[in-house]
A and B are shown apart, each in its own frame.
Chain A
């Protein structure tokens, strides 16, 4: 299982990559593996104000539908436009081409509440 060291993680299996006051968000390798083949991704509208923990989209696989939760509070400044037409990118490259949204952080202190790679690894192992 791939858990890059330079990212932060949520207990709902999103990752977040922070660059300045912007953050890229996707779902983890663990999440895509458990969902199996992803067939559809619903993303939020650009410009939407989101709160940490709020549902901002849906991922549908051949097995289940899962929520995408905002890891942090802020405004959506971009979404991965090609994703709804190529949802398999989430399975192939969950940390790269399979990114979902970019959020401008309104409260960078929230980042402190997220898991680091080691803590997320432990969290995944606990769940098996």
Chain B
């Protein structure tokens, strides 16, 4: 599609049709003082000067290319192979808008089909949609689907306090104004056994994060049975990298798996665009929001791809739909698909192993430091790539010291969300952190405590 600006003749034809002499006359109802205000801009700069200015602004940021990063809490510094960006920047993918006549865009459909297939393998689920905006909105869609799948008869959703605090806020935003009640996380220390006791025949969904927000694995044995016994759905928020090494939610009975897919080769980009992974069981495919690409054969028997379930919210189900989300992040989903295809099963497992071992190396060294304690809020629970550190000083003070003296981006201040975890820091270690960086972090923490 070519971009053609209006010509003077076009403008004149439109003015003639309206019956105005000029643009000024057309705008005469706009008060004079705001009609053509003086913008008080500096003189025009050259391209080179603009580049200097923008580059200066960009360099004022603290970023992971110039600092060691131990900040996670939902967005992670994993390595992105260059092939991901190479494929994304191909014009056929990069410039395409959402396919409104989908079957003509076979390449886009095939890419989405492969993304969905890999997400199903990774999560152990039957079906994946073509993505949502991010992990938080994906979870909110999962909750809406559970409410809808239980035919709107159930009004209770149990949310573990160890689900990402911002995800819980987004879920509440989605159901505000309805008569749905979100319970479970009003006690920030509530454990799984306590949450399970809240299950009843009014419960539509039971939501956990695994590994949880603190990076620890939940004891999920028997959980799905307990949730299903009351007719509710088990929704699991997962870390996709952890699924390269650990049991997927599909294997322990999850009905919906939601995940933030940023870890799969997508840059952190100051918070977005990220990727909302959403997978579920066949039984709920008609209740699922978003779109679904399928493989079929054309009239000549050749393989082809179709939009098996289009964005029905938009033009079929409308007000009867589970959700009113019509859009997704196709390009980012493609990036995740290229990442997964590049790493393969062994590569993903290797990334997960590196995260696991490096984080455990860091945790054991920090645990030996005077004044620090590791995972003291829930001792003995296994963890993946993040862990909680109880600090001898406020987290802000320690992080300032780490950045100033060691060029280290420290951990997340858990006191912001969990009052009982004041002076507790959530540290993430990925495959990108070298042993030297980890040793520097340990030394930095030691000095910060003095």
Contacts and interface: CB of A to CB of B under 8 A. Distances in A.
Interface string B317-330: 11011000000000
A40 interface: yes
Interface in A91-112: none
Nearest to B148: A42
Contacts of B153: 45
Nearest to A39: B286
B316 A60 contact: yes
Contacts of A58: 317, 320
A34 interface: no
A65 B318 contact: yes
A65 B286 CA distance: 12
A65 B317 contact: yes
Interface string A54-74: 000010111111010000000
- Interface on chain B toward A: helix, strand, loop, or mixed SS? loop
Nearest to B287: A42
A60 B316 CA distance: 8
Given A40-B286, A45-B151, A67-B320, 19 more contacts: A42-B286, A44-B151, A45-B153, A58-B317, A58-B320, A60-B286, A60-B312, A60-B316, A60-B317, A61-B316, A62-B316, A63-B316, A64-B316, A65-B312, A65-B316, A65-B317, A65-B318, A65-B320, A65-B321
Interface string A20-33: 00000000000000
Nearest to B320: A65
Contacts of A45: 151, 153
B240 to A, nearest CB: 30
Range, interface on chain A: 10 to 19
Contacts of B316: 60-65
User: Interface size class for chain B?
Assistant: under 10
B202 to A, nearest CB: 15
Contacts of B312: 60, 65
A62 B315 CA distance: 10
Nearest to A43: B151
A63 B153 CA distance: 27
Contacts of B321: 65
Contacts of B317: 58, 60, 65
A68 to B, nearest CB: 11
A62 B310 CA distance: 10
A110 to B, nearest CB: 24
Nearest to B285: A40
Nearest to B153: A45
Interface in B143-163: 151, 153
Nearest to A44: B151
List 7 A-B pairs, minimum CB-CB distance, nearest first.
A65-B317, A65-B320, A40-B286, A58-B320, A65-B316, A64-B316, A60-B316
A36 B387 CA distance: 56
A63 to B, nearest CB: 7
A40 B312 CA distance: 12
Contacts of A44: 151
5 contacts: A42-B286, A45-B151, A60-B286, A65-B316, A65-B321
Contacts of B151: 44-45
A45 B150 CA distance: 10
Contacts of A60: 286, 312, 316-317
A58 B318 CA distance: 12
A101 B320 CA distance: 20
Interface in A1-60: 40, 42, 44-45, 58, 60
B153 to A, nearest CB: 8
A65 B315 CA distance: 9
Contacts of A67: 320
A40 B317 CA distance: 11
A45 B321 CA distance: 19
A64 B313 CA distance: 10
Interface in B84-126: none
Nearest to B151: A45
Contacts of B320: 58, 65, 67
B282 to A, nearest CB: 11
Nearest to B150: A45
Interface in B246-297: 286
A65 B287 CA distance: 13
Contacts of B286: 40, 42, 60
Nearest to B321: A65
A58 B317 CA distance: 9
A42 B151 CA distance: 9
Contacts of A42: 286
A10 to B, nearest CB: 19
B23 to A, nearest CB: 44
Interface centre among A42, A44, A61, by most chain B C-beta atoms within 10 angstroms, is A42
A68 B185 CA distance: 38
Contacts of A61: 316
B401 to A, nearest CB: 59
